[in-house]
Structure 1
Amino acid sequence: MPRTLIVGLDGSSESRAAADWAAREARLRGSPLRLVHVWEGVPEAMAESPTPGAESFQHWVERIPREAAAGLRARHPGVDVTTEQIVGRAYEVLPGLAEEADLLALGSRGLSGIGGFMIGSVGLAVVAHAECPVVLVRAGEQAADEHTSDPTGMPSVTTPYRPVVLGLDTDSPDEAVIGFAFDAAARRQTSLRVVHGWNPPPYYAYRLPADLEYHGELSTQQAKALTETVLPWRRKYPTVEVVEESHWGRAGNFLMDASRDASLVVVGRRIRRSPFGAHIGPVTHAVLHHSAAPVAVVPHP
């Protein structure tokens, strides 16, 4: 039985975009979708007031998941949508709920004028502590944005999906991250673009400007390591076309560029169970703040 996909809903345009994205993903997976509205309750001063403010506030809060669910059912018939309201703090509640889910989707405000996400403290805390994949979706993200352009030059839901992009560290590859990316590409019947960035050891770096042969040897070694890492997954997913890219430089920069033509970007995050701080790693942090496509952050040991 497929496990549930969860959306953290707060009524904002970005959370509604995340809910629509998650509904499309639920259809691809044949999974149920659960809209979770976490709120901190009626303010104490309002609750104690004899005015109808508390009742009105409660009514407004209850409308958020109800109306969101009705809209999703109308736009995505066949997807099983349920709702739940929980009183508490989202950054504490949502990571706990993620233990019951295959995926958690969150909305994030887009950065004005450029690609990327404005990650608030709540979103960052959830990404850093949830132990299931977390997908960040910007306000305004639409189904057509995941697809290639039609003959008129406009993206359309009737055209193929754009590639899925995977940021891969060949020094410590993880099956959960790679498997998520291959599975996403297979469900979308699209290609997988595997991007690997590398830098030479510091004590060798001084040779590179003058030693092109040595640079070539390092490049060959890194490309070979990438091919060997991906090979078992090519065999497991023979229908997925794989494009391998091994670049000298910062992986985050190459992933940002690749995100402009992606339906989804997949990166990893090492699980750290410390209750303090939000540690997601420099590459994942850069991708979250500059990706032009939805980003899936997959936790791994």
Structure 2
Amino acid sequence: MSSSTQRAHRTQDVLVGVDGSSASAHAIRYAKAEAVRSGGAVDVVHVVPDVAPMNGFYPVPPDELMDAGAAALDASLEQVGQVGEPDDGVPVRPHVRRGPVVATLTELGREARMIVVGSDRRPVSMRLLTGNVSTGVSARAAVPVVSVPDTWSPEQSTGVVLVGVKHPDHADALLAEAFEVARQRHSRLLVLHAWRLPIAYDDLLSGDIGTLKDWAARAERELEEVVAPWRASHPEVDVEVRAVHDQAAHALVVASEEADEVVVVRRTHGVPAATHLGSTARAVLLYARCPIRVVPAVHVPMVLDLDLETSGAALKRAGS
């Protein structure tokens, strides 16, 4: 097999990072469903840390670390019944690696179609010392990263994919990803734009239903213009455009209750390869009710913030 052929095949594969938790089992289930749709394989990876402390400050012997890592990998596979040959035809390849967890998963995922990780929804105070792998990988990966909450159930499908659009100048990458996800799943696509004046101006709109409706109608008209080419190229996808007066993260989290997946872009501060998610993305990763797909910054340059809209004028175009 030539190197180009290997690369073409590899990009259909899905890499999933696991740690033996229930969230990892959900991540594997999600990854396998994606692989069924794409025709790729699933690489299930557990990363063993380089050094682990123990009583007396002596390092854990390396062999014991690797054994514990293999046990964590097996635990994740057993939770989804994937010991041995998978029954759906998806190749599942287990791997144990050693190194910094976020950096290792990010590097291994460069040749994958996407990276999938489980999301621990315990209180933040219980995760401060261990960090959050899903947030770290989502902020750094060069490919889309899907964070699957440990409360997710594939049986509870709504048939809706949700994408949040801030600005028409930066919508193409998000819409390309979202339309493809909706097409593969035969799902309806909900394109959401949220706008809100700074809090000091709330009184200007408080109770002014007519103004709110006018702004929402304008936003929806402009959003329809952005979506129109994608509707034409994906006639099989049913699309709903919605503009709401709300804070961006709250709007996405609320809308996630009716979605199977949320598609967002990570924050870049104008730097294509930035490694910062921003407050909205972090909030969505923490509170959304369904898997969250974070599109890497390299696909959406010069987006100043993930907030769908916070400055008032709906979907402002450059120079307008």
Give the TM-score taking structure 2 as reference length. 0.75
Q: How far apart, in 2, do the equivalents of 1:210 and 1:260 lie?
A: 26
Q: How far apart, in 2, do the equivalents of 1:216 and 1:13 lie?
A: 44
Q: How far apart, in 2, do the equivalents of 1:11 and 1:62 lie?
A: 10
Q: How far apart, in 1, do the equivalents of 2:246 and 2:41 lie?
A: 41
Q: Could you list the runs of 5+ residues in structure 2 that have no partner in the other structure? A: 1-7, 53-57, 302-320
SS at 2:155 equivalent: helix
Match of 1:241 among 238, 241, 247: 238
SS at 2:46 equivalent: strand
Tell me the equivalent position of 2:113: 102
Matches within 5 A, 1:37-116: 37-41=46-50, 45-47=59-61, 55=63, 57-65=65-73, 68=76, 71-72=81-82, 76-111=87-122
Deviation at 1:217, TM superposition (A): 3.9
Deviation string, structure 1 residues 112-146 (Cα, Å, up to 9, x no partner): 7xxxx99943332211111211111122533202x
SS at 2:114 equivalent: strand
Q: How far apart, in 1, do the equivalents of 2:150 and 2:210 lie?
A: 47
Deviation string, structure 1 residues 257-291 (Cα, Å, up to 9, x no partner): 1111211111111345778xx62123222211211
Deviation string, structure 1 residues 153-185 (Cα, Å, up to 9, x no partner): xxxxxxxxx211111112543322211111111
Matches within 5 A, 1:170-249: 170-200=167-197, 207-209=204-206, 214-249=211-246
Q: How far apart, in 1, do the equivalents of 2:86 and 2:200 lie?
A: 57
Q: How far apart, in 2, do the equivalents of 1:222 and 1:290 lie?
A: 26
8 Å Cα contact 1:39-1:90 kept in structure 2? yes
Gap change, CA 1:202 and 1:238, over 3 Å in 2? same
Match of 1:128 among 135, 139, 148: 139
Q: Could you list the runs of 5+ residues in structure 1 that have no partner in the other structure? A: 48-53, 149-161
More strand by share: 1
Deviation at 1:84, TM superposition (A): 2.2
8 Å Cα contact 1:23-1:76 kept in structure 2? no
Q: Does 1:30 align with 2:39?
A: yes
Deviation at 1:210, TM superposition (A): 7.8
Gap change, CA 1:142 and 1:74, over 3 Å in 2? farther
User: Percent same amino acid at aligned positions?
Assistant: 29
Q: How far apart, in 2, do the equivalents of 1:140 and 1:167 lie?
A: 22
Q: What is the letter of the counterpart of residue 122 of structure 1?
A: V
8 Å Cα contact 2:30-2:148 kept in structure 1? yes
Gap change, CA 1:260 and 1:201, over 3 Å in 2? closer
Tell me the equivalent position of 1:289: 286
Tell me the equivalent position of 2:24: 15
CA RMSD between the two structures = 3.0
Gap change, CA 1:84 and 1:198, over 3 Å in 2? same
Q: How far apart, in 1, do the equivalents of 2:223 and 2:280 lie?
A: 17
Give the TM-score taking structure 1 as reference length. 0.79
